[in-house]
């Protein structure tokens, strides 16, 4: 009787293992041997160049990248950017959460998640999430700009706001950012 149970367990385990490796979904678990990180990176870079001009092609390339390597954080992040542009806030937040886990030391997924929360009207959560982006990458200028803008707009400035504004007025990404920070600082 024990031999029958053991034989049945072996058969079920073998059958289950065989089924697990036949999926073609990009979201199916991938053994390390099947991950093609180089291809995923290449496809993600091509998609990044197309996000603004051809979002449909970018979406297709990002899904291909995830088929090549499900654990490629930048592909999840960029797919989230596409969803955010389309107003698909739930889907965007989901992608940014996944990218955040796959890219623990990178501020972009956190900053993008904060932007998504801001679009959803969840200002306190957005402020906190911008803060986490700065925790993993202090002085990340795009995050500083977004956080300072939201702090000023929502009237929730704190002791960091003036420092952010001073930094933005010196090295803001554009002249508009620098001028905005200078004007706000004068008004404080």
Q: What is the pLDDT along the chain (188 residues), one digit of tens a residue?
A: 444 333 323 333 333 444 444 444 455 555 555 899 999 999 999 999 999 999 999 999 999 999 999 999 999 999 999 999 999 999 999 999 999 999 999 999 999 999 999 999 999 999 999 999 999 999 999 999 999 999 999 999 998 999 999 999 999 999 999 999 999 999 88
What's the pTM?
0.80
Round to whole Å and give the CA distance between 85 and 99. 17
Q: Helical H runs in the chain? A: 2-20, 37-50, 55-68, 73-85, 89-102, 108-119, 123-136, 141-154, 161-171, 175-187
Residue (of 101, 130, 88, 135) closest to 113 by Cα position: 130
Query: Please, what is the angle between helix 175-187 and helix 141-154, to 10°?
Result: 40
What is the C-alpha separation between 178 and 133, in angstroms, rounded? Answer: 21
Question: Which residues fall within 8 angstroms of residue 176, CB to CB, at 6 or more apart?
Answer: none
Angstrom distance (rounded) from CA 145 to CA 130: 10
């Amino acid at each position: 009787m024990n031999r029958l149970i053991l034989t049945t367990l072996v058969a079920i385990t073998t059958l289950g293992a065989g089924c697990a490796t036949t999926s073609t979904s990009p979201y199916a678990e991938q053994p390390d041997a099947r991950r093609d990180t180089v291809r995923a990176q290449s496809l993600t870079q091509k998609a990044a160049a197309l996000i603004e001009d051809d979002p449909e092609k970018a979406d297709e390339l990002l899904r291909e990248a995830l088929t090549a390597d499900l654990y490629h954080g930048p592909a999840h992040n960029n797919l989230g950017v596409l969803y955010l542009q389309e107003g698909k806030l739930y889907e965007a937040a989901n992608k940014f959460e996944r990218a955040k886990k796959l890219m623990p030391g990178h501020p972009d997924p956190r900053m993008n998640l904060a932007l998504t929360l801001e679009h959803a009207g969840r200002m306190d959560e957005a402020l906190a999430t911008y803060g986490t982006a700065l925790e993993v990458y202090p002085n990340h200028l795009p995050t500083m700009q977004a956080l300072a803008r939201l702090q000023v707009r929502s009237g929730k400035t704190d002791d960091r706001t003036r420092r952010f504004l001073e930094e933005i007025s010196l090295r803001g990404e554009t002249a508009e950012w620098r001028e905005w920070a200078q004007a706000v600082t004068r008004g404080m």
